[in-house]
Amino acid sequence: MSLVIRKPIVTCFHCGEDVITEGITSNDKHFCCTGCKTVYEIINKNQMCEYYDLSASPGINQQTKIREGKFDFLDDAPIIDKLVHFKDQTYYHVTFYLPQMHCMSCIWILEHLHKLNAGISSSTVNFIKKEVTLIYKHSQTTLKEVAKTLTRIGYEPHISLNDINTTKIKKYDRSRIIKLGIAGFCFGNIMMLSFPDYFSLGTLENPELKHWFNYLNLILSLPVFFYAASEFFISGYKGLKQGFLNIDAPIALAILITFLRSVYEIGSASGVGYLDSMSGIVFFMLIGRYFQNRTHQRISFDRDYTSYFPLGVSVIHPDGNETQISVADLKVGHRIKIHNDEIIPADSILFLGKATIDYSFVSGESLAVEKSIGEIIYAGGKQTSGAIELEVLKEVSQSYLTQLWNNAAFKTKKEVVTVSFIHRISRYFTYALFSVALLAASYWFIYDASKIWNTITSVLIVACPCALLLSATFTNGNMIRILNKYKLYVKNAAVIERMAAIDTVVFDKTGTITEQGKSDIIFCGEDLTPLQQQFIRSLANQSKHPLSKSIVSFLPFSPSLPVKAYKEWKGFGVEGFINTVSIKMGSAEFILGSKSPKVNVGSTVYISINGACVGYFLINTKYRNGLAEIVMQLKKQVQVKILSGDNDSEAAYLKTIFGRDTEMHFNQKPEDKLRYIQQLQKQHRVLMIGDGLNDAGALMQSDVGIAISDDTNNFSPACDAVLSGKNFNLLNELICYCQKEKLIIYASFALSIAYNFIGLYFAVMGDLKPVIAAILMPISSISIILLTTGLSSLFEFKLKKSKV
C-alpha cells in the first residue's frame, strides 16, 4: 500500500507553486516559502504591487536559497571591467542575462529597478534575449549591489565564464533588414514607373517621357543589383571557388544577365528591360531568407563548457585571506573554496571538508559520489554537501572535461559536410535550363540568327531557380515556426532536412529518458502513522544521501525533531534516536541482516522502528511519461539505442521498455559516446538525444543532436535543436513532420515548373515581353508562398491531433 499525500489547496501568491507548508502568510496572502514571502514584502514595501496585477503569480520560486556572498567576485576590478561594456564619469552600463524572465510582470519590475536601488538610473529589458541592460551611477552603487538587487527580487543574473571570454555582445545583423527595405522600395517604385509601359499609356506619344522613366528605373535598380543582391553573388562565387555549384550561383547568373540585358536595351533605346522583374525577385527571395533565418535569439545553440562554469571563485591565500578571482585566472596550486551547490571549475584535489559531488550533468551518473580528502575531483561536478576546499591540479582549459572540446567534432560545421538536396535539384535544373537555351539558340541559328542572343538571355531570365529558393525558404521558415510552437527549437533550416533523413535514434539515459531529480516512490509495508512519518523524515533529513533526500521530499512536511546518537554507516544506512525511539533506515542487509530477495528494480530503503522492520520504500528512477509508446512508434521506422554514462543497474527494466533487441551501452565516458556515434555513422544517419555536458561530443558528432531541456532557460550543451521535456512524447510525430519538408518543396517546385513552361514558351519564341515577365514573376512567387505555407500548416494538423 502506498501513502496518500494531502493535496494542497492554496497556491503561492508570489510564484504560483502549491503551498505545502501552511502558515507562511503576509497581508492575508499565502506563500510557499519564506523566500517568496520576502520578495513579496520587498515589492509591497516599495509600492510595486502592480507586478502582481499584470500577470497572476509572476514570481520566481525562492525555495532554493542563494548564498550570501555569492556575488563577492563582482567587487574585483578586472572582472568589473570585463562585464561593464561602457563607462564614463558618472554611469556604468552593464547587461545581465536573466533566464528567469518569463512574463509581462518581469518586464515591468525589471524596468522599475530604480525604485529598489536608487543608484540604478535606467534599466531596459530585451525580453526575447532575456537580457536587461542597466545603467547605474557608480558613485551610488556597485555592480555587486546591482546583482544583489536583482537577486533579492528573484532574478539572479546568470554570470558565467563565457561572459568574459567572448568578444562582447554579438551585434544584431541589421544589414539584412536594410537590404530588404531597399529592395522593397526600389521594386515598388520601378513597378510604378513601368506601368505606363505595360499598358502603352502615353509613352508612345512622348518618347522623351519614356526615356526618362527608363533611366529612372535604371538608377533605382542600381542599389538592388549592387547592394541588396550582393549576398547571392558572394555566396555563389564562394561556392564556385570551392568547386561546388550551389543554388545561389545560377540565381546570381540570372540576376546578372537580366541586369546587363536591361542596361543594353535601355542604353540602345531598343526596349525597357526587365528591371521590375529583377528587383521583384530579389525582394521576394530576401523576404524568404529573412523568414527562414529568424532564429531564436533566446536560445543559444553554441554553448560550450564556459557558459556552464561560474565566473568567480574564492581563492584562499597562504595567509588565510580569501579573495575572489576570475576562474580563467586560476593557476595550478591555487587553494579554492567551493560552496554548497557550486560547480567545481578545475580538476583538483580535495583538501578539506566533506565532498558529495553530483556528476549527473557531466557524466550521466544518477547518484552523487562521495569523495574523501586527497581524492581527485574532476571539473564540472556540483558540490552538494556544504563548503569544501580544494587545491587546483590543472588550469580550467586543461581539465579532463574541457579536453572534449578539442575534438574535431567541435570544429567542423555540419552544414558544410552535408549538402542540402536543394542544391542538388538546382544543379539538375540549371543543366536542363542550359540545354533548353542551347536548343532554342540552335533553332534560331538556322531560321533567324538575329534572335539568338535575345532567346538565350530570355530563357535565362525567365527560368532561374529563384522559385526553388523561394519554395525552400518559405517552407523552412514556416516549419521552423510551427516546430517552435511544439517546443522544438531548431538551430537552422538545414536541421529539418537532416532530421528527416535519420534512421537511428540514440538516447542518453540520465536526464533524457528519465526526469531530472524526480523519482517514483512507493512505501510497502504497514501503514505509517503521522508520528512515524515524522520520525523517518527527521532521520532522513540528517543524511545527504540522494535516497534520503528522495524520501524527505516524498513524506508530507513535518517539523524536524532532534536526532540523538546519529550514525551513518557508509554504503549501508543511517540510525539514530528520536526521543527514546530507535530508528534505522538503509539496505536490507543493514536492517534485516540478510540480503533481500531481489524482486524489484530500483532501490529499496528498509525502515525499522525500535528494532522491528515496518516496511521499505521502493525508489525507482522516474522515466518520462509516454516513453514506452515513443519507443514503440520509433521502432517502426528507425533503430533505437541507449548510450548512458550511468551504471547498468536499470538495464533489466530498460529492456522491458525498449525490447530485448535494443543495443544498450553503459558506463560510457563522453569520448566513448562520441566515438560510438562516429562508428554508427559509417552506416547510419544518427539522431542523438541527450541533455548534459557528457553528451556534448555525441550531440556535435551526430547528424542531428537534440538536447532535451526541462526548462529551456537552463544550460543545454551545443546542439542542433532543443526540445522541451514536456513535449518529449511528440518526438516521433516531430520527426515525421520534418519528413514532410521535402514533399512540400517538391510540390511547390512542380508548380513553379508549370509557370516556367509558360515563360519558356515565350522565351524560346524570342518574344518575352517585359509585361509577361512582370506578371509571371509575382504570380508565381505569391502562389508558391501560399502553397508552401499552406501545406506546412496543413501537415501540422497531424501534430495537433497527437498532442491532444
Partner 1 sequence: MSVLFILISASLIIAIGFLVAFIWSVKSGQYDDDYTPSVRMLFDDELTANKTEIKKSIKD
Radius of gyration of the chain (CA): 33
* Residue 140 touches partner 1, criterion: CB under 8 A: no
- Selected from 125, 191, 618, 704, the binder of partner 1 by CB under 8 A is 125
Nearer to partner 1, 283 or 361 (CB): 283
CB of 484 to partner 1, least distance (A): 14
Cβ neighbours, 10 Å, residue 258: 27
- Selected from 1, 5, 178, 581, the binder of partner 1 by CB under 8 A is 178
| Residue 425: alpha-carbon gap to chain centroid | 31
* Residue 199 touches partner 1, criterion: CB under 8 A: no
**Nearest of 258, 183, 189, 197 to residue 771 by alpha carbon:** 197
- Selected from 6, 9, 64, 88, the binder of partner 1 by CB under 8 A is 88
Nearer to partner 1, 128 or 419 (CB): 128
Provide DSSP, 128-177.
TTTEEEEEEETTT--HHHHHHHHHHTT-----BTHHHHSPSSPPP--HHH
Nearer to partner 1, 189 or 714 (CB): 189
Task: Give residues with Cβ within 8 angstroms of 251, minimum separation 6.
Answer: 232, 236, 285, 464, 465, 466, 469
Task: Give residues with Cβ within 8 angstroms of 610, minimum separation 6.
Answer: 581, 582
* Residue 216 touches partner 1, criterion: CB under 8 A: yes
* Residue 746 touches partner 1, criterion: CB under 8 A: no
**How many residues bind to partner 1 according to rule CB under 8 A?**
34
- Selected from 108, 227, 290, 572, the binder of partner 1 by CB under 8 A is 108
523 φ, ψ (degrees, to nearest 5)? -105, 130
* Residue 86 touches partner 1, criterion: CB under 8 A: yes
Q: Which stretch, 36-44, 205-213, 493-501, 594-602, contacts partner 1 (CB under 8 A)?
A: 205-213
CB of 773 to partner 1, least distance (A): 23
* Residue 204 touches partner 1, criterion: CB under 8 A: no
Q: Is 130 left (phi over 0), alpha (psi -120 to 50) or beta?
A: left
The vertex-645 CA angle with 617 and 670, nearest 5°, equals 160
Own/partner contacts of 323-328, CB < 8 Å, gap of 24 or more, are 323/76, 324/72, 324/73, 324/75, 324/76, 324/79, 325/73, 325/76, 326/73, 326/76, 326/78, 326/79, 326/82, 326/161, 326/164, 327/161, 327/396, 328/161, 328/164, 328/165, 328/396
Q: Which stretch, 4-12, 86-94, 146-154, 527-535, contacts partner 1 (CB under 8 A)?
A: 86-94
- Selected from 38, 72, 116, 127, the binder of partner 1 by CB under 8 A is 127
d(CA 364, CA 692): 7
CB of 100 to partner 1, least distance (A): 16
Placement of cell 546518537 in the chain? 565
Nearer to partner 1, 56 or 177 (CB): 177
* Residue 93 touches partner 1, criterion: CB under 8 A: yes
- Selected from 129, 138, 544, 635, the binder of partner 1 by CB under 8 A is 129
- Selected from 111, 448, 527, 629, the binder of partner 1 by CB under 8 A is 111
Beta bridge partners of 489: 722
Q: What is the DSSP letter of 66?
A: P
CB of 467 to partner 1, least distance (A): 28
* Residue 114 touches partner 1, criterion: CB under 8 A: yes
**Nearest of 740, 728, 515, 496 to residue 630 by alpha carbon:** 728
Q: What is the DSSP letter of 702?
A: S
- Selected from 49, 56, 209, 765, the binder of partner 1 by CB under 8 A is 209
Nearer to partner 1, 104 or 234 (CB): 104
- Selected from 24, 135, 349, 664, the binder of partner 1 by CB under 8 A is 135
CB of 478 to partner 1, least distance (A): 18
Q: Which stretch, 84-92, 553-561, 587-595, 744-752, contacts partner 1 (CB under 8 A)?
A: 84-92
Asked if residues 194 and 217 have their Cβ atoms less than 8 Å apart, the reply is yes
Q: Which stretch, 24-32, 33-41, 125-133, 364-372, contacts partner 1 (CB under 8 A)?
A: 125-133
Q: What is the 3-state secondary structure (H, E, C) of 232-275?
A: HHHHHHHHHHCCCCCCHHHHHHHHHHHHHHHHHHHHCCCCCCCH
Binding mask 41-80 for partner 1 (x = CB under 8 A): ---------x------------------------------
Q: Which stretch, 70-78, 106-114, 488-496, 767-775, contacts partner 1 (CB under 8 A)?
A: 106-114
CB of 625 to partner 1, least distance (A): 31
Nearer to partner 1, 112 or 518 (CB): 112
Q: Which stretch, 182-190, 724-732, 734-742, 782-790, contacts partner 1 (CB under 8 A)?
A: 182-190
CB of 653 to partner 1, least distance (A): 44
- Find the binding residues for partner 1 in span 674-703 (CB under 8 A): none
Asked if residues 680 and 504 have their Cβ atoms less than 8 Å apart, the reply is yes
Placement of cell 541559328 in the chain? 445
Residue 389 vs residues 65, 329, 355, 386, 668: alpha-carbon distances, Å: 21, 18, 9, 10, 29
Amino acid, res. 157: P
CB of 801 to partner 1, least distance (A): 30
Q: Which stretch, 69-77, 176-184, 344-352, 524-532, contacts partner 1 (CB under 8 A)?
A: 176-184
Placement of cell 535598380 in the chain? 221
Beta bridge partners of 382: 343, 358
d(CA 17, CA 456): 70
CB of 54 to partner 1, least distance (A): 8
* Residue 122 touches partner 1, criterion: CB under 8 A: yes
- Chain contacts with partner 1 (rule: CB under 8 A): 50, 86, 88, 90-91, 93, 104, 107-108, 111-112, 114, 121-122, 125-129, 135, 172, 174, 177-178, 181-182, 185, 189, 193, 202, 206, 209, 212, 216
